[in-house]
Amino acid sequence: QPGFSSSESMNGFSARKTRGGKILWKITGAKLIKKDKITVSGASGIFYNSDGEMFLKSDRASFKEDGSALELEGNVYFKDVSGKTELYMEDLKWDEQKKLYYTDNKVKQVSEEAVITGSGLRADKDLNRVEILEPNVVSGGGS
C-alpha cells in the first residue's frame, strides 16, 4: 500500500513516499505549489533502495498531491551512499505506465571505473538498475 506524507515549517517543506511501510524517497526544500502538483525548489533528498541510499539534489522537484509522478528538473545530481557513483542530468521523470524513471537529455555518470556520458537514461523504481542510452566512455577511472 503506497503512502505519502508531507509537512511544512518555517524552514521549508519535507515530503516522503512509502510503499509497504518502507520509505521510497524523501525530499526537502522550499515549497511552491503549481496547479495540481507540488513543486519544491532547491530540492534535496534521499532515494532508498535495497543497495542502500542515493542522495539527490535538483533545482526543482515536483509531484502530485499523493506523491506520485515525481519529476526532477535542473541540475539533477545523484550520489550513492558510498560516494563511488555520481549521476548528473538536466531532468528525470517517472513513467507510471512503464514503472521507470527516464530522461532523454544528456547524462553523465562518474565512477571509480570510468566517466560515461549518454543521451538519456532509464532506471527502475529504486534506481538499482540504471541504463545509460547511447553510452560513450569519456575516460577510465582515476582521471
- Distance in Å from the first CA to the final CA of the chain: 45
What distance in Å separates the CA atoms of residue 23 and residue 64, rounded to the nearest whole number?
Answer: 17
Residue 79's pLDDT band, with cuts at 50, 70 and 90, is very high
Number of structural domains in the chain: 1
pLDDT confidence of residue 43 = 95
Q: What is the pLDDT of residues 5-51, one digit of tens each?
A: 777 665 688 999 998 888 989 999 987 777 788 899 999 999 888 77
CATH number of the CATH domain containing 56? 2.60.450.10
Q: Which three cell numbers stand for residue 125?
A: 523504481
What domain range is 117 assigned to? 2-140
- For 42, the grid coordinates are 532547491
* Nearest Cα residue to 47 out of 107, 87, 9, 1: 87
The pLDDT, as a whole number, for residue 52 is: 83
Interval 110-120 mean pLDDT: 95
- What's this model's pTM, rounded to 2 decimal places? 0.83
